[in-house]
Amino acid sequence: MGSTFAGRVVAAHGRHCLVEGDDGQRILCHPRGKKNSVVVGDRVRWSHSGDEGLIEQVLERDNLLYRQDEMRTKSFAANLDQVLVLLAADPVFSDMQLARALIAAEAAGIEALIVLNKHDLGAPFEQAWARLEPHRRMGTPVLPLGLKTDHGLDALHARLRGRSTLVLGPSGVGKSTLVNRLVPEAGAQTGEISRALNSGRHTTTTTTWYWMDAERQSALIDSPGFQAFGLYHLEAPELARLMPDLRATLGDCRFHNCTHRHEPGCGLRPHVGTDPASDPLAIDETRYRLYGELFDELAAKPTY
């Protein structure tokens, strides 16, 4: 093997990936061998192979997020500082989708940030904001945003500065608008990446790394749609400690292997549905219901 160079994967599609070197230049690369284990955000060593490059080594990852496709769980982004879950007052967001995203981030050791868009809608926004109260109580940052009026944009900028942030959100919440607002060159970059990867109409299914500044200190990683986060790499007994509101009550159960579902002497269940004004460990009933559904899903997952 000849000389190798350091780089970061900024886009990937099939067995093609675009690697950006420390000098900012980008080159089309292919993983060496048949197995494609490279994801956006990976730091790699690559070597020249004609006009293209070969990925010789994927360097150790700080963290890794997974997405779920039917019964398979696949990795899709690495080396993140933060996950931004963009929601909106309309359409109504899914508590389950939000919970999955937050649990996936917690399991990977990545900070999470919830942003609620469409501040201009008034009452629907207030209703959605109230639904997020359990997340604020358990310490997850929740920011208001109004992209039509730039409400909250400066505060969001401050949260993104100097960090690599994966942006997630269901359709209709303003994710494309947000990315284009924060990265004015995003459209042009997407076109260039599409041509480089020859992905054409598949560009919208490609997770892409964008720099927000010329110094390449702040990055947005845009991923299509709201990923069904793969949690099959987790075990059901791990779940409670990955939900901060439930984790705060752990340690007082009679049985060390308590599932917090039906066992006598559980230290968690007495806090479900209590008044937060009188119980600092109060657990929202919706959050506990989601815990039960996810616990059952992980307990019944297939083994390979």
Is the whole-model pTM more than 0.85? yes
Note the pLDDT of residue 13: 77
pLDDT at 203: 43
Which residue ranges make up the annotated binding site for GTP? 117-120, 169-177
pLDDT of residue 55: 95
Given this model, what pLDDT does residue 201 score? 44
Q: Token match 């599932």: residue?
A: 259
CATH 3.20.20.150 applies to domain 64-222:
no
Q: Which of 227, 205, 195, 166 is nearest to 13 (CA)?
A: 205
Nearest in space to 182 (alpha carbons), one of 217, 219, 144: 219
DSSP string across 111-179: EEEEEEE-GGG-HHHHHHHHHTHHHHHTT--EEE-BTTTTBTHHHHHHHHTTSEEEEE--TTSSHHHHH
- Residues annotated within a binding site: 117-120, 169-177, 253, 258, 260, 266
pLDDT per residue, tens digit, the chain (304 aa), is 579 999 999 998 777 899 999 899 999 999 887 666 799 999 999 999 888 999 999 999 999 988 765 555 567 899 999 999 999 999 999 999 999 999 999 999 999 999 999 999 999 999 999 999 999 999 999 999 999 999 999 999 999 999 999 999 888 899 989 998 999 777 656 666 666 666 544 444 578 899 999 899 999 998 876 666 778 889 999 999 999 999 999 999 999 999 999 999 999 999 999 999 999 999 999 999 999 999 999 999 876 5
Known binding-site residue numbers for Zn(2+) = 253, 258, 260, 266
Distance (Å, rounded) from C-alpha 83 to C-alpha 21? 24
Domains of the chain by residue range = 5-58, 64-222, 236-299
For 120, how many CA atoms within 13 A lie in the half-sphere containing its CB? 6
CATH fold of 5-58: OB fold (Dihydrolipoamide Acetyltransferase, E2P) (2.40.50)
Buried b vs exposed e over 20-47: b needs ≥16 C-beta within 10 Å? beeeeebbebbbeeeeeebbbbbbbbbb
What is the identity of the amino acid at 88?
A: A
Tokens 């007495």 — which residue?
270
Q: What is the pLDDT of residue 69?
A: 57
Name the CATH topology of 236-299: Ribonucleotide Reductase Protein R1; domain 1 (1.10.40)
Peptide linkage before 91 cis (omega within 30 of 0): yes
Quote the pLDDT of residue 139. Answer: 95
